[in-house]
Structures are given as C-alpha cells and as structure tokens.
Amino acid sequence: MLDAAVKVKGAAQFIDDLTLPGMLYGRILRSPLAHARILHIDTSKAEKLAGVKGVMTGEDIPDRKYGIVPKAKDEYALAKEKVRFIGDDVAAVCATDPEIAEAALELIDVEYEELPAVFDPMEAVKEGAPLVHEDVPGNVSASIKKEFGDVAKGFKESDYIFEDAFYSQAVNHAPLEPHGALAQYDPLKGELVIWSSTQIPFFLRRNLSTTLLVPESRIRVIKSKVGGGFGQKIDMYAKDFCACWFAMKLGKPVKFVYDREEVFIATRQRHPVHIRVKTGVKKDGTIVAQEFRAHADGGAYNSTAPLMITLLGFFLMIPYRVPNLLYEGYHVHTNKPVGGAMRGHGVPQARFAVERQLDMVAERIGMDPAEMRIINSIHAGEPHPAKFIINTCGFADTVRKAAEAIGWQEKRGKLPFGKGVGMAGGAFPSGVSNMSHISSGAVVQLGRDGAVNVLTGAADIGQGAETVIAQIVAEELGVPIDDIRMTAADTGITPLDPGTFGSGVTVRAGNAARIAAVSVRKKVFEFVAEKLEVSPEELVAKDRKIYVEGSPDEGIALSDALKAYQYADLPMPIVGRGSWMAPATEPTTLLKENGNFSPNYSFMTQAAEVEVDPLTGKIRVLKMVTAHDCGRAINPMLVEGQLEGSIVGGMGQALYEEVLVEKGQVMNPSFLDYGMPTTMEMPEIETIEVETEDPLGPFGAKESGEGTQVAPAPAIANAIYDAIGIDFNELPATPEKVLNALKGKADQPK
C-alpha cells in the first residue's frame, strides 16, 4: 500500500493529530432522555466560564434539515423542539481546551418535558404507539412492496412450503478512530475549510452547504486519514456542523473529536431487523417462490432508510434464482440510536435469514445444502426477474471450492458431537447506481521528469483505494507505482466523486483514472509514433519505455520522449481527464421501478468449521474459508486483507457483538463491554479468489471485501447446527443461548 510506511511509523495524520494556531476545542451536550420536548435551555452559566468562547443550541442555527438521502432528510444539526433518543445533540460549546469545554456542558441547564417512548419496532407500528416524528404515521419512515413473477402461483406449484422467523441484532461499526472534524474560516475570502474523518467528502460539502446556508463553492472538505469507517462515517454529524459554525462565528479554528461512548450512542449502527421468510421448493430443491417480510429498527432518524430497506429486498434476488418473490420491507422509527449504512448495508441481515432457512429446508427435504446452493445458482447472461444484468458469475464455483477447502464431504454430519461445518452464499454490488449522477472523475498529469500526479475524489478509508488507482494508472502508462503521486478526496482540488460506499470505488474511480491515463498515453503515443514512423496502435508502454510491440529494442525511453515532447513546444505537463458513471436512468429509484443497479456483481461463499463446548456453551471457530468471485484481483494482497477483515467482522455479528439497549439507554458503549473478536479468537482463514474477467470493471475487477461480510454469520450458525443439532435463528449465538438451548433439548421427551 502507498501509505503503509507512514501508518506503520505512526506518522499518519488523523483528525486528532491536527492542530492549528489558536485552535479551540468543542464538545456536544446530549439528551439524557429517550423522548422529550425541549422547553428551555439556559446557557448563561456556561458562557461565563473562563475559557469558553462559544455556546450554541438548536435555536441559534438555521431551520434546515439534512440527510444522506435527499428524500429522507429529517435531522437538524442540533435538536429543535424535541429530542428523540438518549444521545441526541442538544447544544455545543467550544473553549480553549477540552477540559473546559467538558466542564461547560455541566453548566448548561435544559428543561425537558418527558414524552412516552417506544423501543420495539414491532410495537412502534401498532396503532396508538408514540410517534417518534409527528409527520411519520405509524412510525414507518420508508417502506417497499415488490413482487417479481407470480408468487401465489409459485406456491401452488411448490412441493414443500416452509415459513420461519429470524432476527439480526444491532451492531456497532466500532472504528478504531473516533469521529472528528476541524474547521477553519477565512473571513476575507469568505471560505470555509473543514478536515473531517468522512467517507464521502462531496456529500458532506452538500449537507454543510444546506445547513450553514453557505454556497458549496465556499466550502472545502478535506478527508484526512481515516481509521476505519465501514459506513458509519458516511453521514454528517453535529461535530462537522458545529466545528464550521463556531469557526465562522469566532474566526478561529475549532476541533471536535467524539469519545468512544459518543461513537456508540450518537453516530450510527447496523439496523436490527425482524424477518419472516416463507419459501416454496420442488422435491429436487429448486426454489420456486418466496415471501419475505422485514421490519428494520431504524432508531430515531432516517439516515439511509430508503436505500437500506430497498437493498435488503433486492439482494434476495441473487445469488440464487428466485423466479417468484414478494418482498415487504419497513423502516421503523424507535427512540433508540440511529441505524445507518454498515458494511453490507442491509444485505447481511437478509442473507442471515435466507441462508439459515436454506439449510433448514435442505434438512427437511433430505438434501445436501451445498448441492441445493449449486442447483439454484444464478448464471451469467440469463434473464433476471428484477432486470439485473449479470455479466459474470462464479457463484457455483465458489460453493464447490469453499466446500472442498472446508472438507465438506468428509465432515458434514460426520464429526463428533460439538463439532460441525456449515456454509452460506452471498452476492454484492460493485457500487450502486440506483441514483443518477453517481460519477467519479480523475485527472492524470505526466510531468517532464516522468513523474505522474493523479487527482481523484475517491476516499481511501484504509481499504487501499489510492494504491489500486495508482496501480491502474501505472499499468496504463508503463511506469512503476513509485512514480505515482496521489492527491485524493479534497473537494477544493480533486474531481467530483461520490465517496466510499457500496464497494464501488475500484470500479467507479478506477475506471475514471484509467480513462484519464489512457488519454495521457494517447497523446504521448501519437507523438512517439511519428518519430518512430509507426502507428500509435503498434506501441507499448512498459518499464518507463515506449516501444513497438514485440520489439523492445525499437523504442525510446519515456524520459527522452517527454524531453522531445517539451522541446517540440507542446504543453507540459501532459494532462488527461476521465469520468465514469455506471448506466443509470433519471430519475431512477428501486422503490418505484426494477432495473440493473450495479455495473457488476461479486459472488461469494463462506464455509465455517466450529467447535461447541457443551459445558460452557462457548463456540470456537476453528476455520473459515471464503471463496470470492471478485473478477480480476488487481492487488491480490489487498483483496486477501479485505476478505480476512470481512470474515472477522462476520464472526463478530455471529457470536460476539450486540449493542445492548434498555429503555433507550446503550448499556455497553465501550470496548471494555462491547464484545468483539480479537486476535485470540482468530481462526485459520483460507481465502480463495475465483476470477471472472468482468467486461465493465477496470482490468476485469469487481467488488472484494464488503460482500464477504454478508455470509460468515449464517455460515457459522449453520455449522453450529451441524455441531449440536440446534437452530440459531437469532443473533448473536452467545454461550448463554447455547446452554439454554442445550438444556431445552435435554428436557424434551425422548
């Protein structure tokens, strides 16, 4: 990776490492109540505290709501009139040091009128339940009902019909780096600069413009190094707005950094989802029809509500053929922490239900679960009920290779009690294109000395995006990656880019960079071809040389070509521009219409081997295998790292992680109390790359990493069933649940 050395040395600059002369420090006052009307806020004592330079409340700011999805804006930067969950942003202060800012919060007096609250999404949709937002009837802020094919007919044609219920818990992203922002304002130029730990700088600029009433052209967002995001750093938060507001009002730089408890209670989490699945199959295991109903607990605000509830449903259509599907999805408000995008964005919850039930159905009809997955696998090029365009698909191969690596034939149903193997499949997009104008841009500059500058709006949040983009450019120009200099994710310098979400960076930004690099290469080739008296199509760029293909001796060093180019009075540096967007219609929304919403799709199978201790209930994952169709791996080492990280994240969802909430209060908002897999729980991990040359990805690449998170949890749950014969349809599968289930099994009549 390009930035590996600076990170290993501890020299990488994250938000909390940044300082500016005269910098002030900000803190947020948060609601202690789950649902209440704000009657009065007295900030006078805080304002008088020595060292305090500014205090603000919702009354001080413009009456402008924001949100990551345009049609779902429902948040103010600071609460106005009401608070809707414990941790809601009420007021902000800034002072000369963090301790004074923290002390000032204690001096702010807020008078509340407590209101009835609702904490269960299944209760929130009932008539008479307290409304979290008065303008959201029934607390359902987003819903979708879609039917593909004829479900009623499909069930009539089925030999077996099964219905089961599932639940996926709330999971926190737990990025190692807490959220932060540092803002500086130049009153002479009227320009605002903010450094933020964000995944989507251009979207953040848009939301800041909306809420601050400042033109986007006057706002510059710079993404600093980001110590993990996983979707949690997509949204704008109070820290971004308040840092900018104070900087503009006070003329001094202002920094906000959340503590760990704030990350848990006041940012975003993976949605808890209640799911019911009804599936009809033929005797040979062919899936004929499916009904799927999901209630997602969105907490107090929308965040990505419409997109999340839509993706959850549409990804029921891959990796298996489901000719007849009825999906109902509901995003429900409760007085709890807010749900948002998290690695997989609704798909892990759906896949847990589908993959668990698939194993249950296979058991009931006496079929091997691996074989059932293969016979129902989608294949490239075949018509799709939801109008997906599947250019390449290696799913069936991923099942076979994962099964072989885990020892499926030798172990499934044949190991001693307490040991078992399981598998689960999945699929994921390489960037969603369900909204138009999701384009990436790039500029490539080739200088007189052969150095290459690349400007890209892509946001590298640790996944290696800048490295992959640099590799693509280096390959096209025939130079080593050491010759590439990257400038990325700075709205004042770099081209437009939607940011890091939906695993679309390599395809979107990679294609844009490749187009820009090809433009540069074309200009150089046209010049060199004339000198060599050949056509440009005959030339190759490699190892800092340009030569006739098949004749390395018939060429010229790149440095000599650039010198001649300059002395011919041609403009230097040589500049190429590129922009790439997946096909999308305007307006396009899967809530209303079907269609292809990704340039390509990756496919994967995870297989797990577990050991369950019947005395303690502890589950140990012995081995995890992931076979992943990611197209062509541009950087195999980065792909392997992404796959391994996703597997461990999936292990957390399966066995350890859960945000515990009682009456709206998060009970485990720290790394001390929140269960996460550590190096002590790491199993043996085997990654298998199943390459399929995709026609739309740069050099054939597709998504790798995020999609791998969708299947480990059901694979582990399926392995637990193989080990002890107990179905776990609710996550996480903790030792306590294992012991209770074993006791219940023992108590049953023989």
Series of mean pLDDT values for 10-residue runs along the chain (750 residues): 89 96 98 98 98 98 94 96 98 98 98 98 98 98 95 98 98 97 97 97 97 98 96 97 98 98 98 98 98 98 94 93 97 98 95 98 98 98 92 97 98 98 96 73 96 97 95 98 97 94 92 98 97 95 96 93 96 96 62 80 97 97 97 93 93 98 98 94 94 94 90 98 97 97 77
Query: Which CATH number among 3.40.50.300, 3.30.365.10, 3.90.1150.10, 3.40.50.10470 corresponds to the domain 269-433+591-747?
Result: 3.30.365.10
Reduced 3-state DSSP string for 73-139: CCECCCCCCEECCCCCEEEEEEECCHHHHHHHHHCCEEEEEECCCCCCHHHHCCCCCCCCCCCCHHH
pTM of the model as a whole: 0.96
User: With contact defined as beta carbons under 8 Å apart, do 709 and 411 qualify?
Assistant: no
Is 750 in contact with 685 (CB distance < 8 Å)?
no
Q: Which helix (H) or strand (E) holds 410?
A: helix 408-411
Separation between Cα atoms, residue 79 and residue 495, nearest integer Å? 34
pLDDT score at 747: 73
Sign of the torsion formed by the C-alpha atoms of 519, 521, 526 and 527: positive
Rounded to the nearest 10 degrees, how much is the dihedral formed by the CA atoms of 95, 35, 344, 209? -50
Q: Which CATH architecture has domain 22-115+176-228+233-266?
A: Alpha-Beta Complex (3.90)
Q: Cα separation of 377 and 371, whole Å?
A: 10
**Alpha-carbon distances, residue 203 vs 77, 221, 479, 594 (angstroms):** 15, 10, 33, 26
Contact in structure between 558 and 483 (CB atoms under 8 Å): no
> Strands 219-223, 191-196: parallel, antiparallel or unpaired by DSSP?
parallel
Q: 319 with 378: CB under 8 angstroms? A: yes
Rg (Cα) of the chain, in Å, rounded? 27
Query: How many angstroms separate the CA atoms of 279 and 503, rounded?
Result: 30
Give the Cα separation of 7 and 13 in Å (integer).
9
> What's the token pair of residue 429?
């997009």
Specify the pLDDT at position 595.
80
Q: List, by residue range, all CATH 3.30.365.10 domains of the chain.
A: 269-433+591-747, 439-581
Strand partners, 36: 83, 114
Q: How is residue 102 written in tokens?
A: 């923290």
Judging by DSSP bridges, how do beta strands 140-148 and 324-333 pair with one another?
antiparallel
Please name which of 659, 668, 747 lies closest in space to residue 739, comparing C-alpha atoms. Answer: 747
454 three-class SS: strand
Amino acid 15: pLDDT: 98
Residue 176: DSSP 8-state: S
Q: How far apart are CA 346 and CA 353, in angstroms?
A: 12
- Whether the CB-CB separation of 222 and 186 falls below 8 Å is answered with no
- Taking the C-alpha atoms of residue 704 and residue 602, their distance in angstroms, rounded to an integer, is 7
**Tokens describing residue 155:** 């069930």
Do the beta carbons of residue 556 and residue 545 sit within 8 Å?
yes
> Which residue is associated with the tokens 């900087």?
247
What's residue 587's pLDDT? 43
Tokens 């190759």 appear where?
Answer: 540
Q: Is 628 helix (H, G, I), strand (E, B) or coil?
A: strand
Q: Which residues of 608-632 are buried (b: 16+ CB within 10 A; e: fewer)?
A: bbbbbeeeebebebebbbbbbbbbb
The answer to whether the CB of 141 falls within 8 A of the CB of 333 is: yes
* Cα 504 from chain centroid (whole Å): 10
Max CA distance (Å), the chain: 93
- In which element (H, E) is residue 691 found? none
Torsion sign (Cα): 129, 133, 134, 135: negative
Nearest Cα residue to 43 out of 90, 89, 99, 84: 90
Phi then psi for residue 508, to 5 deg, are -70, -65
Q: What's the CA gap between 89 and 78, in Å, rounded? A: 5
Q: How far is CA 641 from CA 289, 528, 637, in A?
A: 37, 40, 6
How many CB atoms sit inside 10 A of residue 284's CB?
11
Candidate CATH numbers 3.40.1160.10, 3.40.50.300, 1.10.357.10, 3.30.365.10; the one for domain 439-581: 3.30.365.10
CATH 3.90.1170.50 residue ranges in the chain? Answer: 22-115+176-228+233-266
